[in-house]
Amino acid sequence: MSFTKLIGKIPLLHAEQSDTDQKLTSAEQGKLWATYIGNTMSICVLSYMVRHAEDQEIKEIVKHALGLSQQFVTFIRDVYKHENYPIPKGFTDEDVNLDAPPLFADEFYLHYLKYLGKAGLGVYAIAIPLVTRSDIRAFFTECTHLTVQLMNTLNETMIKKGLLTKPAYIPYPTEIDFIKKQGYLNGFFGDIRPLQALEITHLYDNTENNATSKAVLLGFSQTAQSKEVRDYFHRGLEIANKHYTVFTKILQEDYLSAPPSLDPLVLNSTRSPFSDKLMLFHKMDMFTVRIRAYGNALSMSARHDIASKYGRLMLEVGNYVEDGANIMIEHAWMEQPPQAADRGALAKT
């Protein structure tokens, strides 16, 4: 079967079709599954945002992002049908109430899309070197391309509207230099050097991510129906607020600017636009992305004190995600990803 018609809806996609009769590898199954689940969730959230956005320029960008998620889901669903593969349930119209009042100001939608784009790129770009079947590789290549385009449009719009904050400027070096002392790594004792550019970059990025996550948690904590889920969001809000404060303080100690809090962009509605299942999965997903971001930042941080903070905060996030997973499992809300055969169980049959 040719996939030309299936992927032709996504522009600029030119895949070799000679190997589409090959079975999906574990990497292809895993990445397609994660993309499908994540984008069905995005369709629910973005449909709600499109319904309530009043600024026409912001509305068009959200609508465009929604269209991308719908294209991605359609392609994966067609692959599943061709492979006689069970289609995950993901998230459906049952998980969103489009008639619920607005929960966020229009400006927040741009910040949210920026966070969503970062998360998407973390899945799509990483998939490209791991998948081997040409149609699937071409699909993730195009997902990456279209998401990058969306991020560029977002940045241009935020600059135009005066909503984009930039990482701090630092002086240009006057000459090439080499590190001569191991004191460069100090962070707890002795002379502590100023932050270097890569440390600033990731501190700024993680502060920005926590600002967005904090606002989402604030909105979700106002609208969750279950007390158990509300309490979980309140705990997440405390964690995100603490992490935001930790990173902001490190930047400010070197007189560098940090991204502002987005909490004022959360409105006063208490009527839930999303199911508790969707909101709980959403926050687990955002915190899982945080683990990856902290690990990446840790690898780029030479100062011992900063690396130590990332390690400690990563552990806290991991524990939080595990507790959320336990709630999901308890309520039978967590779909199981594709997994290897249980050889031990097969041997007993």
Tokens of 232: 């979980």
Q: How many residues does the chain have?
A: 349
pLDDT score at 185? 72
Return the pLDDT at 17. Answer: 56
Taking only the tens place, the pLDDT of each residue in 253-305 is 999 999 999 999 999 999 999 999 999 999 999 999 999 999 999 999 989 89
Pick from 207, 189, 167: nearest CA to 297: 207
Residues contacting 193, CB < 8 A, separation 6+: 183, 184, 186, 303
Is residue 193 scored above 50 in pLDDT? yes
Tokens 């590190």, located at residue: 179
Residue 342 has pLDDT above 80, yes or no: no
SS3 call for 338: coil
Tell me the two tokens of residue 341. 């055969």
Mean of all residue pLDDT scores within the chain = 91
Q: What is the pLDDT of residue 18?
A: 66
Q: What CATH number has the domain spanning 24-160?
A: 1.20.1260.10
Nearby residues of 146 by Cβ (< 8 Å), 6 or more positions away: 10, 68
- Cβ atoms of 35 and 124 within 8 Å: the answer is yes
> What is the pLDDT averaged over residues 20-38?
94
Residue closest to 140 by CA, chosen among 76, 188, 77, 209: 76
Q: Which two tokens stand for residue 276?
A: 């508790």
Domain ranges of the chain: 24-160, 183-330
pLDDT tens, residue by residue, 82-138: 999 999 999 999 999 999 999 999 999 999 999 999 999 999 999 999 999 999 999
pLDDT of residue 21: 82
Instruction: Check if 24-160 and 183-330 are the same fold.
Output: yes
The percent of residues above 90 in pLDDT, for the chain, comes to: 83
Please tell me the distance from the alpha carbon of residue 336 to that of residue 305, in angstroms, as a whole number. Answer: 38
Residue 5, pLDDT > 70, answer: no
Sign of the alpha-carbon dihedral angle for 123, 124, 130, 132: positive
Q: Are 13 and 138 in contact (CB under 8 A)?
A: yes
Q: What is the pTM of this model?
A: 0.91
More confidently predicted of 173 and 189: 173
Which superfamily is assigned to 183-330 in CATH? Ferritin, core subunit, four-helix bundle (1.20.1260.10)
Nearest to 290 by CA among 327, 250, 249, 246: 246
